[in-house]
Amino acid sequence: MTAGAIWNPERETMPRSEIEQFQLERLQATINRAYRNVQFYRRMFEEHDLVPEDIAGLEDLRKLPFTTKQDLRSAYPYGMFALPLREVVRIHASSGTTGQATVVGYTRNDLDDWTELVARNLVAGGITKDDVVQIFFGYGLFSGGFGLHQGAELIGASVLPVSSADIASQVKVMQDFRTTALVGIPSYALQIAQAMEETGIDPNSLSLRVGIFGGEPWSDRTREEIEQRLMIRATDIYGLAEVGGPGVSGECECRCGLHIAEDHFIAEVIDPDTGELLEPGQEGELVFTTVHKEGMPVLRYRTGDISAVTCEACECGRTFARMAKVRRRADDMVIIHGRNIFPEDIAAVVEQVEGVGPNFRVTVDRADAEDVLEIDVELSSVLPEDTVRSIERLENELSERLQRVMGFDITIRIAEPRSLSSNGVKTPTVIDKRKL
């Protein structure tokens, strides 16, 4: 693998000792600001008998408790802001699908930082100023559209803000404007690819070259399908509104983990059950501390995302730590009949059955004091003939395979192609009605 371009080599290739010194200086400034200006953090310090000076080294961060989504929700909408609203020039919210949204505010400096971080990821994924970049992330309170847009403009690419338009419009723009780079949610990229196949549009007739996808978990199989069907090279971008939006980390050309922007974020991995800090390489829940955010810094924020972090050198030359692709969330796990089940376990079975997927929705409910698991699975494409028999066959095949893996009966319902996601907007994979 030859090394590709690096947007900000001075930062992205800093030696580790310098990264840590840099982080510490920024962390101390952040802690001072949070302590002075955010009631929640001042109280946190007081309750733990701490003052900002107690954070003298990076390892002292552990003295602080975690910040949770619930803490942010309790401060809705502006309670976690560290500056008055007149300093805040943009507001976004997490696209969380259950409960109260979490709100974040960016100062002008925060927007500049964010733009730079996304530019780094786009360049790492192979996008250049010569690309025509079609963005199909939603533009709105969701940070995806605006975040990627700003980064692509900074690089100097020609940006098409198509947002969450329907598939036919996306394809028409790809054809007419000679799009070279696609940026959006991976499941929507796959749906666009499937629709193109159904309508007989040859990807060779397009100008596509690369794609940067993220905002939701996606498997290697989905990556392969997107790459083969659209004839592009696809890389992953990760982030969450609470920590700064997309740009927290992104893959380089080696695609062996996502480089975390360590000049802006300190990453920790903890055991999601005990909160205990894990060793490098061990899988657990990601926790981030922002070290340069003015509008809304977060200290030890629990993401709910499961990954593992390594500081081992990468062939690309970047020195920033890499996190493994996020495949599941700690809170997407459902316990049913005493078994822990993650959507990715179901995805692995769905992937084996020809004609269905990739989208599915899991519903857990309780009927007559017993837990029941129902799965709606999309058809991959319109069935050519003998619909009733084909659907029955697919239902049986899926329920048999799932029964074998899970060890109990599961109700399967086959849904129309592309009926389980709407125009590239993220939808929940698991609905646990027992919790509602």
Which parts of this chain interact with ligand DLL (CB under 6 A)?
94-95, 137, 142-144, 214-217, 236-241, 245-246, 303, 305, 326, 329
Q: How far apart, in whole angstroms, are the C-alpha atoms of residue 386 and residue 404?
A: 27
Q: Please tell me whether residue 356 adopts helix, strand or coil conformation.
A: strand
In whole angstroms, the minimum distance from the beta carbon of 215 to ligand DLL comes to 4
In the complex with ligand DLL, the residue whose CB is nearer, 55 or 292, is: 292
Of residues 216 and 374, the one with the C-beta less far from ligand DLL = 216
- Minimum distance from CB of 191 to ligand DLL (Å)? 17
We find the least distance from the C-beta atom of residue 395 to ligand DLL, in angstroms, to be 29
Task: Name the minimum Å distance from CB 365 to ligand DLL.
Answer: 24
Minimum separation from the CB atom of position 245 to ligand DLL (A) = 5
Shortest distance, CB of residue 84 to ligand DLL, whole angstroms? 24
Nearer to ligand DLL, 35 or 142 (CB): 142
Angle between helices 16-37 and 39-47 (to 10 degrees): 100
Task: Identify which of residues 65 and 428 has a Cβ nearer to ligand DLL in the complex.
Answer: 428
Closest CB to ligand DLL among residues 306, 314: 306
For residue 65, say if its preceding peptide bond is cis, omega within 30 degrees of 0.
no
- The CB-of-201 to ligand DLL minimum distance in angstroms stands at 26
In eight-state DSSP terms, residue 369 is T
Closer CB to ligand DLL, 35 or 238, in the complex: 238
Surface-to-core class of residue 50, CB atoms within 10 Å of its CB (0-12 exposed, 13-18 middle, 19+ buried): middle
DSSP 91-153: EEE---SSSS--EEEE-HHHHHHHHHHHHHHHHHTT--TT-EEEE-SPPSSSHHHHHHHHHHH
Output 9 or 428, the one with its CB closest to ligand DLL: 428
In whole angstroms, give the CA distance from residue 146 to residue 155.
Answer: 14
Six-digit token string for 289: 């501390």
* Residue in the block written with tokens 């390892």: 59
Degrees to nearest 5, angle at CA 349 with 347 and 353: 110
